[in-house]
Structure 1
């Protein structure tokens, strides 16, 4: 996005927040000093909590026309947007021209049954998780599967985008390989929870550890059911 396009997006975002009677708004596009490693570390460690505690999360879908459906929007393909979807208790989606999605009057799209069904179809995430999600180590294999088809500009960011979802605070080491960042995450999950379901994957072996996959795409298959006693 051009600088002018980013400015227009920010102005429209603030205008919508103002129309909804909010006096303050936070945007990750301009409120993070990405030149400060300390601020980046703090932000990534706190972002899930910020979204959870927000009065409202406003999502702009630049590729969804006013009369279109959002099932194929790129927003659902980005790594960082997974926590933006799961963490907030209240969320509103806006289309290309900053119209409320489908012109619905709901104050929370997560409370709209029809939109919730669309979200479930678009993301593969059950509606129960969309409305009742808590960060932590439960359902670790499912959480990895939700992220497995998403992508980020920096390869290691696909792992860092999951730290808040798992409520883990690990060092942010830009420049490390994607294999190492994923390996650190999986090792921490197993160390803290003993959950061996994260070993349920198909794909290339990681140089970090032979029990782990090299890429998060290896979790795209649905998790196997636990063995019966």
Structure 2
């Protein structure tokens, strides 16, 4: 696992950790923009990578007493298919083990004077409910895996956490309250878990299947280019009941 550190001069460095010891870290949950807008592993390696949300994540981690943080756009060398496969198969656990998970909502804005308290009403409820973050395939497992989810506006202002915003998250996503509170996913039927993913989208079609691996606690190699149907057939071999239950939802509608 590679982790980022924010340096005093505002640049970033990457450090790899192998084995059981991984230092406490924060992790970013966000929606990707256009390819040219995202900072890559190569950008960081060249010392040319920077962006508002990565700066936000690094600075927020420091505020929370964490020296390390992880961002999917630039902590994975996607030129290595083996590394990408390992990362995607590990991602649910990485979000689960993070000390803090920051949800950066780039399409939600609040007044700079807003200060969150546990009793504060959500100041941007409509924008929050309509955020693209709730429509993406990968953010489903991030929502469920992380127990320390904190939501921030595009200005980096805290809006609330997984507990204070629980009823909003449940209403928007349909994810059971018990699942949000940490009840093991094995306690929920396959049909119910599939229903949480219905109507979510991914940029790459195979990711419609790959983003479910953590939800079903299965591992399998990634074969980009195989197509969604073939990827689903491979997943169905891991979960025989899945083929029947998928027909009871509109997941592929």
TM-score, normalising length from structure 1? 0.78
Q: Which residue of 1 aligns with 2:95?
A: 51
Residue 187 of structure 1 deviates from its aligned partner by 3.1
CA distance in 1, matches of 2:249, 2:103: 33
Q: Does 2:209 match 1:159?
A: yes
Q: Which residue of 1 aligns with 2:155?
A: 97
Q: Does structure 1 retain, via aligned residues, the 8 Å contact 2:198–2:252?
A: yes
Gaps of 5+ in 2: 1-32, 40-48, 111-122
Q: Does 2:245 match 1:201?
A: no
> Do the aligned partners of residues 3 and 120 (structure 1) sit closer, same or farther apart at CA in structure 2, a change above 3 Å counting?
closer
Q: Does structure 2 retain, via aligned residues, the 8 Å contact 1:136–1:165?
A: no
Residue 3 of structure 1 deviates from its aligned partner by 5.0
Q: Which residue of 1 aligns with 2:193?
A: 143
Q: Does structure 2 retain, via aligned residues, the 8 Å contact 1:137–1:167?
A: no
Residue 90 of structure 1 deviates from its aligned partner by 1.0
Instruction: Spell out, residue by residue over 1:191-210, the C-alpha distance to the aligned partner (whole angstroms, 9 max, x if none).
Output: xxx5675154367xxxxxxx
Q: What is the aligned-residue RMSD (CA, Å)?
A: 2.2
Instruction: Spell out, residue by residue over 1:6-49, the C-alpha distance to the aligned partner (whole angstroms, 9 max, x if none).
Output: 61211111111111111111111210111110101100111101
Instruction: List structure 1 runs of 4+ shifted beyond 4 angstroms.
Output: 3-6, 135-138, 194-197
Q: Does structure 1 retain, via aligned residues, the 8 Å contact 2:191–2:248?
A: no
> Do the aligned partners of residues 137 and 34 (structure 1) sit closer, same or farther apart at CA in structure 2, a change above 3 Å counting?
farther
Q: Which residue of 2 aligns with 1:78?
A: 136
Gaps of 5+ in 1: 204-215, 219-229
CA distance in 1, matches of 2:76, 2:185: 22
Q: Which residue of 2 aligns with 1:212?
A: none
Q: How many residues align?
A: 195
CA distance in 1, matches of 2:130, 2:218: 30
> Do the aligned partners of residues 165 and 25 (structure 1) sit closer, same or farther apart at CA in structure 2, a change above 3 Å counting?
same
> Do the aligned partners of residues 23 and 117 (structure 1) sit closer, same or farther apart at CA in structure 2, a change above 3 Å counting?
same
Residue 92 of structure 1 deviates from its aligned partner by 0.3
Q: Does structure 2 retain, via aligned residues, the 8 Å contact 1:57–1:90?
A: yes
Q: Which residue of 2 aligns with 1:122?
A: 172
Higher normalized strand content (fraction of residues): 2
CA distance in 2, matches of 1:133, 1:143: 13
Q: Does 2:75 match 1:31?
A: yes
Q: Does structure 2 retain, via aligned residues, the 8 Å contact 1:86–1:133?
A: no
Instruction: Spell out, residue by residue over 1:40-92, the C-alpha distance to the aligned partner (whole angstroms, 9 max, x if none).
Output: 11001111011111111111000012131211100011111111100011110
